[in-house]
Amino acid sequence: MELFELGIEGIKALLDKKEVTPHEVLDAFFARINAVEGKVSAYVTQTREKAYEMAASAEKAGNSGIKTLSGIPFAIKDNLCTKGIKTTCSSKMLENFIAPYESTVTERLSGAGGVFLGKTNLDEFAMGSSTENSAFFTTKNPWDLQRIPGGSSGGSAAAVAAGECAAALGSDTGGSIRQPAALCGVVGLKPTYGRVSRYGLVAFASSLDQIGPITKTVRDAAMVLNAIAGRDPMDSTSAPLPVPDFTKAAGMDVKGLRVGIPREYFIEGMDPEVEKAVKGAVAQLEAMGAIPVEVSLPHTGYAVAAYYILATSEASSNLARYDGVKYGFRAAGKDLLDTYMQTRAQGFGPEVKRRIMLGTYALSAGYYEAYYGRAQQVRTLIKRDFEEAFRVADIIATPTSPTAAFKIGEKSADPLQMYLSDIFTISINLAGLPGISIPCGFTGTGLPIGLQLIGRHFDEEMLIRAAYAYEQSTEWHKRRPALPSDNGADKGEGPKAL
């Protein structure tokens, strides 16, 4: 087995036994990037020199103390600030912006010994579900290079699936970790809002954004969460709660665990192959001793509308800072007002402009209560729905996405259809709950399907417990895409199984 095919746990075992060095691990992953990046386009920026410096430091420190991820190669979504390295948000507005400080999560990850390979592509300012809204290029799905990898953390998910990193960090505002993880056949964990510091995350919608891991296995996700979670004085919304060892939940059985099945999440228009795979996953959990129970989340139908008022309103406010004066792109104007207008007209892409306009309208005088105020009320109702459901269920199981990955360009002309791609993930952000997507099957054409598990606030341990138990009882997570540079792939062979 090649080094690039391994996840955190596999690489860590080899490093601990001194069968390989961090430098050799890095060589293997950069060789993989050289082989497939031209096809996948996952990275906006590669940080090779920095990576080898970090690898040398990891080799010197070993796995002592907090260096639990020593020598593990990570990719970082390009909306997380990394000091001295470009942080572009895949936008022309920040194309040449070099962050003057480090985000808390990347600081904690490097403190644990992680090595950064580079910054990954995303939908501009994390606004999208396909990574087609990047100002630079579209990332391709490693399972089918004609299809999207999901979004907005499409670059991170594609990099993990293609073996271009051992694990990655993403951000999730309405499904942007879980949905691309599902479409790329990897694991994506969105923690509870407040579990992980947002300091250094370029803001999209501050009451919804959350940072989390994208990995090859559930246990790997737990290891990353151990490293990045916890109270941060630089983020007033981070919760002052102790951080358990999440890896201890991986290995517990699911006997007696009540799995809620929301009737509103199995809807008309869902791909039948997705529905079959998810129901098969629930049946597998039941065979392992879990107890399926039907639950209702009656306000689910209002979630997309409420989300696209709240998220765009917060985006309108957050993106007001990009005026061409303080930092970032600046267009030449006749006067100050014209400079503002030209800068924003030229610096933002179509989707970002669309969301700014929607949010500005929703916040404008005479419309605030009718739109923003009412959307906040719906948000409260959605949160109460989950509270009621968790009276009878320990976790909730749903599809992550209503379909497998669609073709590049298929939905880009219809924003509403694109927005509906997140119909199963948005409610979790509105309620601030944790959620995880894990592979649960493939379509007849070989595209991955994701199972979403949702937990109570700050109960990531329950998610990891159930997700790991399911993962270990199946073989889905062991399958890897056969990219054109892989041996045998040019002969038309299907996905590789490890």
Q: Report the C-alpha gap between 344 and 94 in whole angstroms.
A: 12
Residue 314 lies in a domain: no
Q: Count of domains in the chain?
A: 1
Residue 49 lies in a domain: yes
Residue 286 lies in a domain: yes
- Considering the candidates 90, 176, 313, 421, report the single residue annotated as catalytic: 176
Lowest mean pLDDT among 56-60, 61-65, 358-362: 61-65
Confidence of residue 494 (pLDDT cuts 50, 70, 90): very low
Residue 397 lies in a domain: yes
Residue owning tokens 């990347």: 106
pLDDT of residue 66: 64
Residue with the bigger pLDDT between 490 and 381: it is 381
77 is catalytic: yes
- Considering the candidates 12, 41, 70, 77, report the single residue annotated as catalytic: 77
Mean pLDDT value of segment 265-293: 94
The two tokens of residue 441 are 């099957």
- Considering the candidates 103, 110, 130, 152, report the single residue annotated as catalytic: 152
Confidence of residue 498 (pLDDT cuts 50, 70, 90): very low
Residue 441 has pLDDT above 80, yes or no: yes
Mean pLDDT value of segment 442-452: 98
73-77: strand order across its sheet: 43-46, 115-120, 73-77, 167-172, 210-215, 187-190, 435-442, 448-454, 395-399, 258-262, 291-295
Residue 261 has pLDDT above 90, yes or no: yes
Mean pLDDT value of segment 472-488: 84
Name residues whose C-beta falls within 8 Å of residue 179's C-beta, 6 or more positions apart in sequence.
Answer: 129, 150, 151, 188, 400, 401, 421, 422, 425, 437, 450
Strand 115-120 with 43-46, pairing: antiparallel
pLDDT digits (tens, 9 = 90+) for 72-109: 999 999 999 999 999 999 999 999 999 999 999 999 99
Residue 420 has pLDDT above 90, yes or no: no
Provide the percentage of residues in the chain whose pLDDT is more than 90.
90
Residue 176 has pLDDT above 80, yes or no: yes
Mean pLDDT value of segment 342-371: 95
57 is catalytic: no
Q: Report the C-alpha gap between 470 and 438 in whole angstroms.
A: 9
Residue 493 has pLDDT above 80, yes or no: no
pLDDT of residue 491: 32
Residue 327 lies in a domain: no
Which of 227, 176, 230 lies closest to 421 in space, CA to CA?
Answer: 176
Q: Report the C-alpha gap between 202 and 252 in whole angstroms.
A: 36
Query: For the domain that residue 274 is a member of, what is the CATH number?
Result: 3.90.1300.10
The two tokens of residue 446 are 């070989």
Residue 348 lies in a domain: no
pLDDT of residue 492: 33
Residue 484 has pLDDT above 80, yes or no: no
Residue 58 lies in a domain: yes
Q: Report the C-alpha gap between 458 and 464 in whole angstroms.
A: 12
The Cα-based distances of 288 to 285, 414, 465 in angstroms read 5, 42, 13
Straight-line distance from the first to the last Cα atom of the chain, in angstroms, rounded to the nearest whole number: 8
Which of 255, 265, 160, 223 lies closest to 477 in space, CA to CA?
Answer: 160
Tell whether omega for the bond before 152 is within 30 degrees of 0, i.e. cis. yes
pLDDT of residue 64: 61
Mean pLDDT value of segment 149-164: 98
pLDDT digits (tens, 9 = 90+) for 107-133: 999 999 999 999 999 999 999 999 999
Residue owning tokens 């309620």: 431
Confidence of residue 418 (pLDDT cuts 50, 70, 90): confident
pLDDT of residue 417: 84
Q: Residue type for 37, please?
A: E
What torsion, rounded to 10 degrees, do the Cα atoms 425, 80, 138, 34 define?
-120
Residue 1 has pLDDT above 90, yes or no: no
110 is catalytic: no
Q: Residue type for 81, please?
A: C
pLDDT of residue 490: 36
The Cα-based distances of 359 to 41, 319, 345, 416 in angstroms read 31, 11, 16, 16
**Using alpha carbons only, what angle is made at residue 25 by residues 22 and 30, rounded to the nearest 5 degrees?**
125
Name residues whose C-beta falls within 8 Å of residue 326's C-beta, 6 or more positions apart in sequence.
Answer: none
Residue owning tokens 């391709």: 140
For 57, the domain range is 3-299+380-489
CB 221 within 8 A of CB 177: no
pLDDT of residue 65: 60
